Amino acid sequence: MKGVYVMTQANCEGKEVVADGVGLAAYTMDSHNCQRVVINSMVKNEGDVQVGGFGPYPIAYRSIIPKANECKNLLVPVCLSATHIAYGSIRMEPVFMVLSQSAAVAAIMSINTNKPVQEINVKQLQETLIKQPLADNSVVEILVDNDDASNVSITGNWTTERKGSYGPSMLTNDGKGGTVESMRFIPPVTNSGSYKVYAYFPKVQNATSKTAVTIFDGKAKKEKVIKESDVRVEGQTTGEWVPLGTYSLSKGRKSYVEISNKNADGVVVADAVLFIPYIRK
């Protein structure tokens, strides 16, 4: 479908960022080889394309709807409007699942307001997807990324790295400053309760063998040391979520997770922290 907006390589590489995003994609732009040919007695793959090195990017709502003069009641989350190379990145099943949910919510809005899909309130759609990502009225998990300026606090000298991170970037510290330098992740808790807490640790060169982590639940601090040898990366990823424990967090911004270079013997990474509501069964 050639819809209202066509996703292109510029979107994948972050050179053009849409404001009406209803899902994120993050895979390499690739196209598998078309055939194998023999050149100078050697078998070579022909037509293979692999272009990566960019972070997650938003997919436009306008790319999953047709032009208004062609159709007004159609949403296309899979065969969406994209160039061949951009579709090579978008074409992952989790992305299709996210876009399908976004399309379903948009369809409900279109029906309830009796408006064409091109005329629904996209900002309202985005707010609904953020507040109810599971569409079941459950308490939403909280992700605090180092790029989330309103929910992080930095002490000391940290370097921004844009490869191998969770999200657009991560911060690194070589541990040689002589003073304790830290990165604090502050979750905006809207519902008091128990949360399972995880920190994302990418694999980096010359990584410290141990990372000092402090968890403050609003009343008491808990110190933990994460060993580099315990971070086991599995699958097509550059890092892994490491559990920090379960904590009772109060509503507001009283709690935090702090990663520091205390006693570090190599590069320390501060990337992202995830707070998942914990319901005992």
Residue that wins the pLDDT comparison between 88 and 138:
88
Confidence of residue 224 (pLDDT cuts 50, 70, 90): very high
Q: What is the pLDDT of residue 223?
A: 96
pLDDT confidence of residue 181: 95
Does domain 142-277 fall into CATH 2.30.30.140? no
* Predicted local confidence at residue 237, as pLDDT: 78
Which residue ranges make up each domain of the chain?
Answer: 9-131, 142-277
pLDDT tens-place string over residues 22-67? 999 989 999 888 899 999 999 999 988 899 888 889 999 999 999 9
Stated pTM of the model:
0.79
Mean pLDDT calculated for residue range 215-234: 92
Gap between the Cα atoms of 109 and 106, Å rounded: 5
Quick one: pLDDT at residue 166?
Answer: 87
Q: What is the pLDDT of residue 213?
A: 97
Average pLDDT over the chain, rounded to an integer? 93
Per-residue confidence (pLDDT) for residue 134, from 0 to 100: 86
Q: Is the pLDDT of residue 281 over 80?
A: no
pLDDT at position 155 is 95
Identify which has the larger pLDDT, 16 or 167: 16
Summarize pLDDT for 65-108 with one digit per residue, the tens. Answer: 999 999 999 999 999 999 999 999 999 999 999 999 999 999 99
pLDDT digit string (tens) for 169-205? 999 999 887 899 999 999 999 999 999 999 999 989 8
**pLDDT for residue 175:** 80
Q: Distance between alpha carbon 95 and the CA centroid of its chain, in Å?
A: 12
Q: What contacts 24+ positions apart, CB below 8 Å, involve 75-82? A: 75/103, 75/106, 75/107, 75/117, 76/1, 76/3, 76/103, 77/102, 77/103, 79/1, 80/1, 80/3, 80/7, 81/1, 81/2, 81/3, 81/4, 81/5, 81/6, 81/7, 82/6, 82/7, 82/8
Residue 148 above 80 pLDDT?
A: yes
pLDDT at 280: 55
pLDDT for the residue numbered 197: 97
Residue 178: per-residue pLDDT: 80
- What is the spatial distance between Cα 185 and Cα 150, in angstroms, rounded to a whole number? 10
Give pLDDT, residue 229.
87
Inform me whether the pLDDT recorded for 112 exceeds 50.
yes
